[in-house]
Amino acid sequence: MQTAIMYIVITALMAPVLLGFAVPFLAAAFIAYRAARTSLSYDKRVALASAIAALGIAPSYDDYGGPLPIFVRLVRGETVAPAAAIVSVAATLAVVLVLARRMSRQRAVTA
Amino acid sequence: MKAALTPVFGLAAAMSAALSGTAAAGTVTGHVISGGKPVAGAMVTAFDETKARRDTTYADAEGKYSLAVDFAGKITVRARAPGLVDGEQVTDLPIVATRTLDYDMRRETNPAALSDSLTASAHLSTLSWTDQATRAAFISQCNYCHQVGNALTRVPRDQGAWKDAIRRMEGYLAILTNREVEGISRVLANGMDDKPVPNTQQHVFSDELAKATVKEWVVGDGMSFIHDADVGEDGHLYGADEGHDVIWDLDRQTGKVEQHALPDIDLPEGGVFSGFQLPIGVFTGKHGPHSLAQAKDGRIFITNALSSTLASYDPATKAFKLYDVGRTHLYPHTIRIDAEGIVWFTIAASNEVARFDPKTEKLTIIALPHDGFWRAVTDFAFPYVIKLASFFPHRGMHLALSHTKWADQGRDALSLPYGIDVNPIDGSIWYAKLNVNKIGRIDPKTFAIREFDTPLKGPRRLRFDRQGNLWIPAFDDCALLRFDPRTESFESYKLPLLAPNEYEVPYALNVHPTTGDIWITSNMSDRIFRFQPSTRSFVSYPLPTRVTWLRDLVFSKDGGICSSSSNLPAYGIEGGLASFICLYPNSETVTH
């Protein structure tokens, strides 16, 4: 239990770092979302952008419990277990999708 | 010459000792030969029955030795020399008596046994480093507090097991990037293969050796970590046991050892570092007494690294008093006292120096320059990370959050002010920043700071000579530096190695107050160096106990150069215990 809490705290505290590293992916997600405005439905565009963002954010935890985006570890030549990577991307995608839908809903309400 | 005088000298020494009430007993004399030739420099060590006391001398060029032993009774006398099998004899040594013990040592022909007898430095010399950066990280961080390559640390492991070992060390305070962990673990897995290493060491004999004796007093247990020792005005040796929160007190005259426990404090085990993977090293305490220095009023001031406190200990009343440094000021470290009685100490993990006035009990913290963005981040964030990590005791959570890892900064993320000393010419305070290769000057009145880059890496525990030259051990670059504050210029001297592909990690040095000689710890080859500035030459004194790791060197009034043998862990030291150690370069002058 303590380990789970510690990982949650670590992930929350390191979220800005994860987002910082993921800026190129977030930018790409935004561009893809805008560019696909005429060719894809809203749901598909959100899914596409979320998937791109998730690829940039999805963390891989090292032996110390320190998270870094999977792509950063790969660029640095560190090993990432494929199964853990898939689970991480999927979990991140789920979180990003929920957040993206919430944000767009809030924006719609505000508008 | 010395041996020829032995009967007279031995009797005189023992009688003198008996008259003065000291512990000296009899004398052991003899010859050490091998294959019919004298073994110059052979170390002859007498052990008392409990093996808690060890007295050593060196054979001269003719192989003769004479050892005035501090203890009587049944003693074991061992002759040891490189490449030869240890010779041991047991004898009864009454007070005021001389025993003659000769040794005919045989050459070690078993490659494994010969390899085992070599110093840690030899075992590291066969490692194949793929790049200098990884090797530099290894020297800096893996030799930080102990040898690697000794019997305890050269056990073959696969890369995963080496990674586990390194991870444990990181939990203790080693700072490495993940890439460095990968590289170091790979090299160690490939290189530490239990195959005998070839003996390419060359031991240079100096006539100075035959004048010297080494005395060792075993103190503590296998988990003791007597970080620093100091000689009190009473001639006692005081040692700060960071492992057990006690001050060891050795009366060298009687051999009596006392321990004085620091007062309890409202902190968990590990002090403010309780979130680290504990015990840090072998620490089971809360204070972590680290460095000590005696003030003119007789009180000994002690930096408590783990509890962020300064302690004073009065040897007369045996009373401690604690002064809070503040729990955001992390790891009070090396301590010195200036001519006005002001206590100065570095605060290593917070990039600060503290000034404490014992009269007013006023503490002033001086923030040192940040040395760049990432180190500024460390200086700001480290206390909070430590605090947060303490909510998850012993988990090493700080490593998960640290930019030493995620920003790939490694040891560059910490400035680490380390050694400190007082310039006797102008009273200015000088410190060394271990990780950023700088020394700095603090004006003691205005606190104005000026820093200088050192030409070599790893400036550690520096000391001034009486002329105002600053002598600096370059830990990472195996050298001695001299800095002249007047001309702001450096000179460097490479330390003498036993083989060209070895290295040393000089941790500390001190300048002898009368001879001006510089005494330097070697730490990878169980030696101590003496540098004579007038001739710019070194004398190497091999030390009798394998895995000798020395820290602060201090001078006793009776001519000793003393320290604590404080390899981490103590159970890695030959015999498995820490000790106080004094080298007397001119043993005839020893009065106790």
Q: Indicate the domain borders of chain B.
A: 6-109, 113-191, 207-219+511-592
| Spatial CA neighbour of B431 closest among B423, B441, B446 | B441
- The continuous run of DSSP H or E covering B230 comes out as strand B226-231
What the block records as the tokens of B126 is 């066969």
What the block records as the tokens of B185 is 């673990």
Best interface-test mutation with A: which of B169, B178, B403, B409 has the largest number of A CBs within 10 A? B178
To the nearest whole angstrom, how far is the Cα of A27 from the nearest Cα of chain B? 21
Asked whether B545 and B579 are in contact (CB, 8 A), the reply is: yes
Q: Which CATH class is domain B6-109?
A: mainly beta
Q: Is the pLDDT of residue A63 over 90?
A: no
Phi-psi group of B10: left, alpha or beta (phi > 0 → left; psi -120 to 50 → alpha; rest → beta): alpha
Q: Is the pLDDT of residue B423 over 80?
A: yes
Contacts of A66 in chain B (CB under 8 A): 399-402, 405-406
Report the pLDDT averaged over residues A4-30: 95
Output the average pLDDT for chain A.
92
Euclidean distance between CA atoms B266 and B592, whole angstroms = 42
Q: Is the pLDDT of residue A111 over 80?
A: no
Long-range CB contacts for residues B22-25, cutoff 8 Å, separation at least 24: B22/B70, B22/B253, B22/B254, B22/B592, B23/B70, B23/B71, B23/B253, B23/B254, B23/B255, B23/B592, B24/B68, B24/B69, B24/B70, B24/B592, B25/B69, B25/B70, B25/B71, B25/B72, B25/B73, B25/B93, B25/B94, B25/B95, B25/B96, B25/B97
Give the range among B17-31, B269-283, B363-377 with minimum mean pLDDT: B17-31
Subunit contact B397:A76, Cβ cutoff 8 A: no
- Give the nearest partner residue to A64 out of B179, B405, B408, using CB atoms: B405
Report the pLDDT averaged over residues A46-61: 96
Output the average pLDDT for chain B.
93
Q: Is the pLDDT of residue B4 over 60?
A: no
pLDDT computed for residue B171 by the predictor: 82
Helix (H/G/I), strand (E/B), else coil: B418: strand
Strand order in the sheet with B509-511: B509-511, B518-521, B527-532, B537-542
Q: What are phi and psi of B169, to 5 degrees?
A: -65, -35
What the block records as the tokens of B158 is 């696969």
What the block records as the tokens of B30 is 């003899």
Asked whether B316 and B249 are in contact (CB, 8 A), the reply is: no
pLDDT computed for residue B20 by the predictor: 35
- The continuous run of DSSP H or E covering A90 comes out as helix A82-110
Euclidean distance between CA atoms B31 and A72, whole angstroms = 66
Residue ranges of E strands in A1-111: 59-61, 67-69
β-pairing, B87-93 with B73-80? antiparallel
Best interface-test mutation with B: which of A5, A7, A13, A64 has the largest number of B CBs within 10 A? A64
pLDDT computed for residue B589 by the predictor: 54
Q: Is the pLDDT of residue B277 over 80?
A: no
Say which amino acid occupies A58. Answer: A
* C-alpha distance across the termini of chain A, in Å: 43
Q: Is the pLDDT of residue B279 over 90?
A: no
What is the chain A residue with the closest CA to B180?
A: A78
- Give the nearest partner residue to B401 out of A5, A10, A61, using CB atoms: A10
pLDDT band at B393 (very low <50, low <70, confident <90, very high): confident
Contacts of A2 in chain B (CB under 8 A): 392, 395
pLDDT digit string (tens) for B146-202?
999 999 999 999 999 999 999 888 888 899 999 999 999 999 999 999 999 999 999
The boundaries of the domain holding residue A11 are 2-110
For chains A and B, CB pairs below 8 A equal 50
**Is the CA virtual torsion B559, B561, B563, B565 positive or negative?**
negative
Tell me, yes or no, if A84 comes closer than 8 A to chain B by beta carbon.
no
Tell me, yes or no, if A62 comes closer than 8 A to chain B by beta carbon.
yes
Count: domains in chain A: 1
Compute CA distances A5 → A1, B392, B397, B494, whole Å.
Answer: 6, 9, 12, 51
Residue the block writes with tokens 């690829």: A55
What is the chain A residue with the closest CA to B163?
A: A63
Find the farthest-apart pair of alpha carbons in chain A and give their distance in angstroms, rounded.
Answer: 48
Which residues lie closer than 8 Å to B221 by C-beta, 6 or more apart? B570, B577
- The continuous run of DSSP H or E covering A83 comes out as helix A82-110
Subunit contact A17:B406, Cβ cutoff 8 A: yes
Asked whether B530 and B518 are in contact (CB, 8 A), the reply is: yes
Which residues lie closer than 8 Å to B132 by C-beta, 6 or more apart? none
How many distinct helices (H) and strands (E) make up chain B?
9, 37
Contacts of B395 in chain A (CB under 8 A): 2-3, 6, 65
Which residues lie closer than 8 Å to B409 by C-beta, 6 or more apart? B177, B374, B403
Task: Reply yes or no: is the peptide bond before residue B569 cis, omega within 30 of 0.
Answer: yes
Euclidean distance between CA atoms B79 and B57, whole angstroms = 10
Residue the block writes with tokens 């150690």: B581
- Give the nearest partner residue to B406 out of A9, A63, A66, using CB atoms: A66
Q: DSSP states of B178-198 as a string?
A: HHHHHHHHHHHHHH---PPPP
pLDDT computed for residue B18 by the predictor: 39
Report the pLDDT averaged over residues B396-406: 91
What the block records as the tokens of B43 is 């170390």
Asked whether B147 and B549 are in contact (CB, 8 A), the reply is: yes
Euclidean distance between CA atoms B209 and B201, whole angstroms = 18
Q: Is the pLDDT of residue B584 over 90?
A: yes
B248 or B130, which is more confident: B248
Which residues lie closer than 8 Å to A7 by C-beta, 6 or more apart? A61, A65
User: For chain B, which residues lie within 8 Å of any Cβ of chain A, measuring from their own Cβ?
Assistant: 163, 167, 170, 178-179, 182, 388, 392, 395-397, 399-402, 405-406, 408
Subunit contact A14:B179, Cβ cutoff 8 A: no
Asked whether B321 and B336 are in contact (CB, 8 A), the reply is: no
Report the pLDDT averaged over residues A85-109: 89
Burial class (CB in 10 A: 0-12, 13-18, 19+), A85: middle
| Spatial CA neighbour of B398 closest among B172, B134, B144, B178 | B172
Tell me, yes or no, if A17 comes closer than 8 A to chain B by beta carbon.
yes
| Spatial CA neighbour of B265 closest among B335, B352, B323 | B323
Asked whether B277 and B270 are in contact (CB, 8 A), the reply is: no
Report the pLDDT averaged over residues B549-558: 97
pLDDT band at B281 (very low <50, low <70, confident <90, very high): low
Subunit contact A64:B399, Cβ cutoff 8 A: yes
pLDDT computed for residue B590 by the predictor: 53
pLDDT band at A79 (very low <50, low <70, confident <90, very high): confident
Subunit contact B179:A2, Cβ cutoff 8 A: no
- Other Cβ atoms less than 10 A from the Cβ of A34: the count is 10
Tell me, yes or no, if A1 comes closer than 8 A to chain B by beta carbon.
no
Contacts of A63 in chain B (CB under 8 A): 163, 167
Subunit contact B392:A62, Cβ cutoff 8 A: no
Q: Is the pLDDT of residue B555 over 50?
A: yes
Q: Is the pLDDT of residue B206 over 70?
A: yes
- Give the nearest partner residue to B401 out of A3, A14, A63, using CB atoms: A14
Q: What is the CA radius of gyration of chain B?
A: 23
Euclidean distance between CA atoms B410 and B399, whole angstroms = 11
Contacts of A9 in chain B (CB under 8 A): 388, 397
Residue ranges of E strands in B382-469: 417-422, 429-433, 438-442, 449-453, 463-464
Q: What percentage of residues in chain B have a pLDDT greater than 90?
A: 87
- B113-191: which CATH architecture? Orthogonal Bundle (1.10)
Say which amino acid occupies A53. Answer: A
Q: Is the pLDDT of residue B540 over 50?
A: yes
pLDDT computed for residue B23 by the predictor: 54
Q: Is the pLDDT of residue B286 over 50?
A: yes
What is the chain B residue with the closest CA to A12?
A: B401
Compute CA distances B158 → A85, B75, B135, B177, whole Å.
Answer: 26, 43, 19, 20
Report the pLDDT averaged over residues B500-508: 97
Helix (H/G/I), strand (E/B), else coil: B462: coil
What is the chain A residue with the closest CA to B406?
A: A68
Asked whether B402 and B385 are in contact (CB, 8 A), the reply is: yes
- The residues facing B254 across adjacent strands are none
Compute CA distances B407 → B104, B346, B413, B527, whole Å.
Answer: 60, 26, 9, 39
Subunit contact B179:A13, Cβ cutoff 8 A: no
Residue the block writes with tokens 């009190």: B232
Euclidean distance between CA atoms B2 and B112, whole angstroms = 36
Report the pLDDT averaged over residues B431-446: 98
Report the pLDDT averaged over residues B104-110: 97
